[in-house]
Structure 1
Amino acid sequence: MQLFAFGLNHQTAPLAVREQVAFNVDGIENALRDLVENGAAKEATILSTCNRMELYCNAAKPEHAIDWLAEYHKLPRQELEPYLYTLPRDLAVKHSFRVASGLDSMVLGEPQILGQMKQAVRQAEQAGTMGILLHKLFQNTFSVAKQVRTETEIGANLVSMAAAAVRLAERIFPSIEEQNVLFIGAGEMIELNAVYFAARNPKRITVANRTLERAQTLARQYNGHAITLSDLPEQLAQNDIIVTCTASQLPILGKGMVERALKARRHKPLFIVDLAVPRDVETEVSELNDVFLYTVDDIAEVVKDGLEARQGAVKEAEVIIESGVSDFLHWMESRDVVPTIRALRENAEHSRRQELEKAVRLLAKGESPEKVLEAMSRGLTNKFLHAPTHALNQAHGKDRDNFLDVARRLHHLHNDE
């Protein structure tokens, strides 16, 4: 079993690179099947969020999985390599545990990543690319993450991405109560932001989504109204605060659309938070006057509030993680001996059947049961001891000493025996 993980995140790659290798949530299952069917991995799981893209694999040659990633996204491998981290077995296990526990997040201790990892596992299961190794890895990952969050204060004084978005908005507008808020998308990140902004009692809440029904479901929770993405050109100017996070592979808000909205607003400030990867807002929008545009990476400084209070919990969490890594590696090592144990049992079973068949034939001929049992037991003993005895007799020097030590340990022998 060749456990291996690789990827890039907010610490190793800028947003412009991350969005080039992001996977659309609707396309992950097909991507996983393609990865495995091409022989680049035996098992695979893809974790793709706004802050990271990672692959966890059981791969005989990990290099092939990295080549697959570059080819899949039509990027030269040499362009990706400066941003990639590659983690063999032990490091891959530790990394998985740290990510799920919130220790590798932009927001230290944030809980959302755990749900995203569980979703990644469900997609791999549906794609049929989860085997014994990855199933066990993520089973242990979620168990360790639960222990970390239960036994430490890693989530104390947490400032989430959504809370950070509200704080930024409050720097632009004296009061959110006087503003109209537009959410583009209806996924988990938008739902979380809606909770925080709704708590500030904005004048109006609007939810725009590709499917109107999904937008209506979220809008009803906050007495807001729903529109489709096709309504955005006419509706954009009516909103002061825009939070967007969709799975679109192309920008939702272009420079031209925003320019027209600013003109209709007579250049009243427009606050936009783009939490999507790939981005929902064209980068040129940031060049416009009266637009305050923040991306995922721009929020990094705001979410550092409360970090000091959580740092003490990191050491406690790392101890739990190290223990979990040790347990998992022990399980992996035990799996490595399974083929040998199976072969030993099959060999012993073959010898047992041979001696049993011989004994049955002798009994059928009328031989004494006592003699038959004696012969069978002697035959089994000779067959079981032939291979180790032969190996001991043929061994020399250090090999002989090693064989002797193993034989004594296996059969609980003392030196005088």
Structure 2
Amino acid sequence: MHLFTVGVNHTTAPIDVRENVAFQNEKLGHALRDLSMHGIHEAAILSTCNRTEVYCNTENPQKALEWLAQYHKLQPQNIQPYMYTLPSQESVKHAFRVASGLDSMVLGEAQILGQMKQAVKIAENAGTLGTLLHKLFQRTFTVAKEVRTATNIGASSISMAAASVKLAQRIFGSLHNQKVLFIGAGEMIELCAEHFATHQPKSITVANRTLERGNAIAQGIGGDAILLADLPDRLSEFDIVITSTASQLPILGLGMVERAIKTRKHRPIFMVDLAVPRDIEPEVGELDDIFLYTVDDLASVVQEGLVNRQEAATQAEAIIELRVENFMQWLKTRDSVPTIRALRDQAERYRRNELEKAQKMIARGEDPTLVLESLSNALTNKLLHGPSHALSNMQGDNHEQLESLLRQLYQLNNQ
């Protein structure tokens, strides 16, 4: 078994690189099946706003990098400088740290665990979750739960949603007179909407592809819903815009925003784009009356309260180190299975051969006591021939090492 993790995250790649290798959840199953056709039959893909990672069982992790580039129609050399390839033990530790919130932009954030569980479920449904990855992720979820229970890693944690509110307050002060627009209807938008609603803005509107899902969020916080198709005519109404969709193309283009600013007579708009790929064209941020922030721009805000979580992070790292060792022991045991099976198969062949000889001797009327004596001698000689022959032909340090190993295996040290 050869475990590898190949990917990029917020520490190795800027958002304009990450958005080029991101996956939509609804397309992950197809992507995994496509990957399996490229020689990697056991794999799971974790794709969030901060990372895209391929966890796989393969002898050649370069295949995963080449596939990632090919799938997204990129040149491998254009993304390779931002990629990391983590083998075996490093891969296990990385998975444990990610699920525990230690590798997140927001130290200790809990949302990543749910995202990882969803990625595993998709891989399982796609048929690409084999023995190794199944065991890895089950252990990962157990470790993440242990870290949450045994430490205060989640205490004082500022989520992306809370960070968006803090930034808005820095610009507008009180939010009571502001009209807020949320674009999308996923988990991130739902969290943001709940955070903003507690500050009682003047109005809350949710724009989504379908009114049904938009209304499901809006009604719970006293807002209303509109369609994405309404945005060109309605955008100018809003002072704050928070967007997070799974669209592969921008929702808000430069032209649409320019028209909105003109209609607003240059009253500023605060925008937070939490999507990867981005929902708002980067050029929008160059407009004088627009305050545009991406997930990467929120980094300084979400670090608030970090000092309070550092001690918990140290405790979490210690837990993870121990659990990584435990997993690696299991992995070594799994690697020994073919050898153990081969050893047992050979012993079984010896047993059957000698048993057949003994049965024939008894059928010929030979003394059963002598037959059993012959059977036991033959089995003993065959089972010990290999190690005895090897020991007789070894010299120097190799002889001493083999002799010591045989004494350990056969428990001869005290004889």
TM over 0.5: yes
In the alignment, the residues of structure 2 paired with residue 105 and residue 234 of structure 1 have an alpha-carbon distance, to the nearest angstrom, of 37
Partner residue in 1 for 2:33: 33
Aligned residues with identical type, % of pairs: 61
Equivalent residue, structure 1, for 2:259: 260
Structure 1 position 310, deviation (Å): 0.9
Q: Offset of 1:319 from its aligned partner?
A: 0.7
Residue equivalent to 2:8: 8
* Secondary structure in 2 matching 1:74: coil
Q: Classify the secondary structure of the residue corresponding to 1:22.
A: coil
Deviates more, 1:100-109 or 1:77-86: 77-86
Q: CA deviation at 1:225?
A: 1.7
How far apart, CA to CA, are the structure 2 residues paired with 1:178 and 1:52? 36
- Residues 104-159 of structure 1, C-alpha deviations (whole Å, 9 max, x = no match): 11111111111111111111111111111111211121111111111111111111
What residue in structure 1 maps to residue 69 of structure 2? Answer: 70
Match of 1:359 in 2: 358
SS in 2 for 1:130: coil
Deviation at 1:3, TM superposition (A): 1.3
Corresponding residue number in structure 2 for 1:290: 289
Q: Which one-letter code corresponds to 1:166 in the other structure?
A: V
Paired position in structure 1 for 2:338: 339
**Contact 2:180 2:238 (8 Å CA) reproduced:** yes
1:146 aligns with 2:145: yes
How far apart, in 2, do the equivalents of 1:312 and 1:330 lie?
A: 28
1:206 positional shift: 1.5
What secondary structure does 2:265 align onto? coil
Letter in 2 for 1:196: H
Say whether the 8 Å CA contact 2:5–2:91 is kept in structure 1: yes
Partners of 2:279 and 2:345 in 1: CA distance? 59
CA–CA distance in structure 2, aligned partners of residues 137 and 50 of structure 1: 23
CA distance in 2, matches of 1:82, 1:378: 64
Provide the residue aligned with 1:192 in structure 2: 191
Distance 1:200 1:354, change over 3 A: same
Question: Which blocks of at least 5 consecutive residues in structure 1 are unaligned?
Answer: none
Q: What's 1:372 paired with?
A: 371
Aligned pairs (5 A) from 1:194-273: 194-273=193-272
Q: What amino acid does structure 2 have at the position aligned with 1:136?
A: K
Report the equivalent of 2:349: 350
Tell me the SS of whatever aligns to 1:146: helix
**Separation in 2, partners of 1:46, 1:378:** 56
Q: Deviations over 1:346-370 (max 9, x none)?
A: 1111122222223333333444433
Whole-Å separation in 2 of the counterparts to 1:183 and 1:197: 10
**How far, CA to CA, are the matches of 1:329 and 1:221 in structure 2?**
47
Are 1:124 and 2:119 matched, yes or no? no
Query: How far apart are the structure 1 equivalents of 2:135 and 2:346?
Result: 29
Q: Deviations over 1:149-206 (max 9, x none)?
A: 1111111111111011001111222322222221111111111111101111222222
Give me the whole-angstrom Cα distance separating, in 2, the residues matched to 1:367 and 1:214. Answer: 86
1:273 aligned counterpart, secondary structure: strand
Provide the residue aligned with 1:303 in structure 2. 302
Deviation of the 1:226 alpha carbon: 1.8
Output the amino acid matched with 1:35: L
Q: How much is the aligned-residue C-alpha RMSD, in angstroms? A: 1.6
Q: Give distance in 1, aligned partners of 2:77 and 2:375.
A: 67
- The residue correspondences of 1:90-169 to structure 2 (distance < 5 A) are 90-169=89-168
Partner Cα distance (1:405, 1:71) in 2: 52
In the aligned structure 2, how far is the partner of 1:370 from the partner of 1:286? 94
Q: Could you say which residue in structure 1 is the equivalent of 2:17?
A: 17
Equivalent position of 1:330 in the other structure: 329
CA distance in 1, matches of 2:406, 2:173: 80
- The answer as to 2:180 corresponding to 1:181 is yes
Segment of structure 1 superposing worse, 57-66 or 362-371? 362-371
1:381-400 to 2 correspondence within 5 Å? 381-400=380-399
Report the residue type matching 2:328 in the other structure. L
Question: C-alpha distance in 2, partners of 1:104/1:387?
Answer: 50
CA distance in 2, matches of 1:80, 1:331: 34
Q: What stretches of structure 1 move > 6 A for 4+ residues in a row?
A: none
Q: Distance in 2 between matches of 1:33 and 1:198?
A: 41
Q: 1:190 & 1:67 partners in 2: Cα distance?
A: 33
Separation in 2 of the partners of 1:182 and 1:356?
81
In 2, distance between residues paired with 1:403 and 1:17?
53
CA distance in 2, matches of 1:151, 1:17: 36
Alpha-carbon distance in 1 for matches of 2:284, 2:61? 40
Asked if residue 317 in structure 1 is aligned to residue 316 in structure 2, the reply is yes
CA distance in 1, matches of 2:213, 2:29: 23
Matched letter for residue 6 of structure 2: F
Deviation at 1:373, TM superposition (A): 2.6
Q: Secondary structure at the match of 2:346?
A: helix
Kindly provide the amino acid, as one letter, of the partner of residue 339 in structure 2.
Answer: T
Number of aligned pairs?
Answer: 415
Residues 42-82 of structure 1: CA distance to partner in whole angstroms, max 9, x if unpaired? 42111111111111121111122212212222222222122
| Partner-residue secondary structure (3-state), 1:56 | strand
1:218 Cα offset (Å) = 1.4
Indicate the SS of the match to 1:243: strand
Instruction: Check conservation: 2:272, 2:292, Cα contact below 8 A.
Output: yes
Tell me, in whole angstroms, the C-alpha distance in 2 between the residues paired with 1:65 and 1:34.
Answer: 11
Partner of 1:278: 277
Deviations 1:286-325 (A, max 9, x none): 1223221111111111111101111111211111111011
Q: What corresponds to 1:170 in structure 2? A: 169
The offset of 1:251, in angstroms, is 0.2
Aligned residue type for 1:5: T
Q: Offset at 1:240?
A: 1.9
Q: How big is the shift at 1:263?
A: 2.5
Q: Say if 2:6 and 2:64, in contact at 8 Å, map to a contact too.
A: no
